[in-house]
Structure 1
């Protein structure tokens, strides 16, 4: 696991990180992140995702990064798309949370598409 704190004026306001996969998937990583709601819509996560994606591919030699997004988290999907990730598929009713089932959207970016 590789994790980074997102800092704003000395305060931790979020986190971003990725898990490199193993064996035949060793050049792929799953990325995840969160940001305090008071900082949503300010471009903070777009900037963090862009930087970490560049780092993971340039410094660690990753070829593919992907993210899973629950269907009601439209903001997360928009952040991924702004950073060049493409929607690769939808796993229908793949997430069970609370008392409901939700679709899971899978986004991916390969090195040749890096902006």
Structure 2
């Protein structure tokens, strides 16, 4: 499997919009994103010279299959939240999903702790995402807290789990 990472480009926006809309139940997004909204968001938040987000396209054999990176970056505290979203066709293949997510977690820990000198990464994951949580924990992220009944998805309240990892 040839997985590579690159900075996001404007032409990635539409695929990402479709994936986000298809997977709205696992995201902190409550409404479908319209094409124009996505274009504006990309221009204002991702395509800047010094964006507040540090996001990467994930390519498998030179084909875009997802995007991930760092959001809620605090240069003062040297922390960031990890974000990860993959093509919904791949997401349903548990083995490939696990390999790609594991690969990304290795990459983002090295990038964050060695290259940009962060000291802590964290995630927020809805409690029904059992496989995702297992992968995080197997890669060294520790459960730090639970926000009880924090989100409502499909008219049901779920906990949000906060995981973190410190630079060694």
Residue by residue, what CA displacement relative to the aligned partner does 1:13-66 show, whole Å, maximum 9, x if unpaired? 11111121254xx31101110122425422111111111111111111101000
Tell me if structure 2 keeps the 8 A contact 1:21–1:30: no
How do 1:36-51 residues align onto structure 2 when only pairs under 5 Å count? 36=87, 37-38=89-90, 39-42=93-96, 43-51=99-107
Partner of 1:21: 74
User: What is the rounded CA distance, in whole Å, between the counterparts of 2:138 and 2:67 in structure 1?
Assistant: 18
> Which ranges in structure 1 are unaligned for 5 or more consecutive residues?
none
Matched, 1:94 2:150: yes
2:59 to 4, 7, 17: 7
**How many residues were matched structurally?**
110
Larger RCO, structure (CA 8 Å, separation 6 or more): 1
Give 3-state SS (helix, strand or coil) of 2:131's partner: helix
Greater share of helix: 2
User: What is the rounded CA distance, in whole Å, between the counterparts of 2:94 and 2:107 in structure 1?
Assistant: 18
TM-score, with length taken from structure 2: 0.61
Matched, 1:63 2:116: no
Q: Which has the larger radius of gyration?
A: 2
Query: What's the Cα RMSD here?
Result: 1.4
Give 3-state SS (helix, strand or coil) of 2:65's partner: strand
> Which ranges in structure 2 are unaligned for 5 or more consecutive residues?
1-52
The structural deviation recorded for 1:97 is 2.1
